[in-house]
Amino acid sequence: MRAFAFLFALLGQLVAEQGLEFPVHDGKDRIINLSKKNFDRFTKKYEILVVYFYSPPRKSNSAEETNWLLTERMLELSAQIVEREGVGIGVVDLSKDKKLAKKLQIFEIGAIWCFHRGHEVEFNGQRSADVLVEFLLELDEYPVEDINNKKELESFLRDDSSKVVSFIDTKKSVAYDEFVDASLDFVPLISFYTVSNKQLAKSLGMKNVGEVQFYEPFMNKPITMEGEPPHDNIDLEAFIARHKRATLRQLNKLNMYEVWEDEINGIHIVAFSDDEDPEGYEFTQNLKAAAQIHTDNEELSIVWIDPDEFPLVSMMDPMNHRL
């Protein structure tokens, strides 16, 4: 599916919000050919090492050759934009570097993995330079945010994306370090927060230092982690992994492959809705209500697609709100 859904819409034609033209490739080769011999050296050299796993296109297959050419351009342009941020981009030929693939336990052609601070994060977004760069810039930020006042608390509660919050007493603690370490396996698609003020923590229903809550998208109540705090990073990662697949997920350019390729054996509903349209808004609220009622049904998956995020959907579906 990765090859067929591949999009590359840049090459100097996009304009950023500030009116500046999106960069074009300067012609310099920056992609690193990775192997088992040099892999560790490059992970130490870069803050983030992005790795694209591929198999060379067959010369007899023009579609494969075109797809690889577009992929190579996307990777080169991305490498040019993020090189000042200490990010390197390399490729692994799965047909030749089988030892490295075995070491990393990655065998999927077309997969993109980011190696960062001793952690591995898969990029499941749209295959375009602007989206990859956005992902990398977010990944490069400090993974945990603080909730220090009521305004930040209100902003936290308005956020309908997946998020985790921990009640801490100090950042100079093993519990905080474990929380940060666990976050590095899930950011930026899941946001992580800490709160140390008792009144703010109370507003979140947190009574004891060390409590951890997971907020599933569009749900009214969080899921509280069981067990006695403090929690170590292994237990935190297991807790988050167990709950991260939400009942209702909104498809966007950063998560499209993770959502679309989800292996669901039960009920998989795809809903198209523009929540800025009056009828679409009502339809979206009904989706959220249905997800809240059936959130304990592990066989139910609802994917919400906003046509504004994917213009081609609007062209194919003028109703903009239907199942």
| Domain boundary pick from 111, 139, 167 | 139
Q: Does residue 165 share a domain with residue 111? A: no
pLDDT of 312: 63
Q: Does residue 127 share a domain with residue 78? A: yes
* pLDDT less than 50: residues of the chain: 1-20, 315-316, 318-319
pLDDT digits (tens, 9 = 90+) for 28-46: 999 999 999 999 999 999 9
pLDDT of 313: 57
List the one residue out of 231, 229, 211, 213 whose CA is nearest residue 221: 213
Q: Does residue 114 share a domain with residue 164? A: no
pLDDT of 143: 96
Q: Does residue 269 share a domain with residue 238? A: no
Contact 192, 212 (CB under 8 A): no
Q: Does some domain include residue 27?
A: no
| Domain boundary pick from 243, 275, 292 | 243
Q: Does residue 236 share a domain with residue 315? A: no
At a CB cut-off of 8 Å and minimum separation 6, what does 316 contact? none
- Angstrom distance (rounded) from CA 323 to CA 260: 16
Q: Does residue 134 share a domain with residue 42? A: yes
Consecutive H or E run containing 282: helix 278-293
Q: Does residue 286 share a domain with residue 267? A: yes
* pTM score, whole prediction: 0.85
Q: Does some domain include residue 286?
A: yes
Q: Does residue 310 share a domain with residue 223? A: no
Q: Does residue 39 share a domain with residue 85? A: yes
At a CB cut-off of 8 Å and minimum separation 6, what does 67 contact? 3, 6, 57
* Cα dist from 321 to 105, 203, 272, 276, 280, whole Å: 41, 35, 5, 11, 5
Q: Does residue 239 share a domain with residue 156? A: yes
For the sheet with 87-93, list strands across it. Answer: 32-33, 87-93, 48-54, 112-116, 119-122
Number of domains in the chain: 3
pLDDT of 59: 84
**CATH classification at residue 271:** 3.40.30.10
Q: Does some domain include residue 7?
A: no
Q: Does some domain include residue 20?
A: no
Q: Does residue 71 share a domain with residue 36? A: yes
Q: Does some domain include residue 40?
A: yes
Q: Does residue 153 share a domain with residue 135? A: no
Strand, coil or helix: 48 = strand
Q: Does some domain include residue 180?
A: yes
Q: Which domain holds residue 159?
A: 144-243
- Angstrom distance (rounded) from CA 252 to CA 267: 21
Q: Does some domain include residue 193?
A: yes
Q: Does some domain include residue 99?
A: yes
| Domain boundary pick from 139, 166, 200 | 139
Which DSSP category does 8 fall into? Answer: -
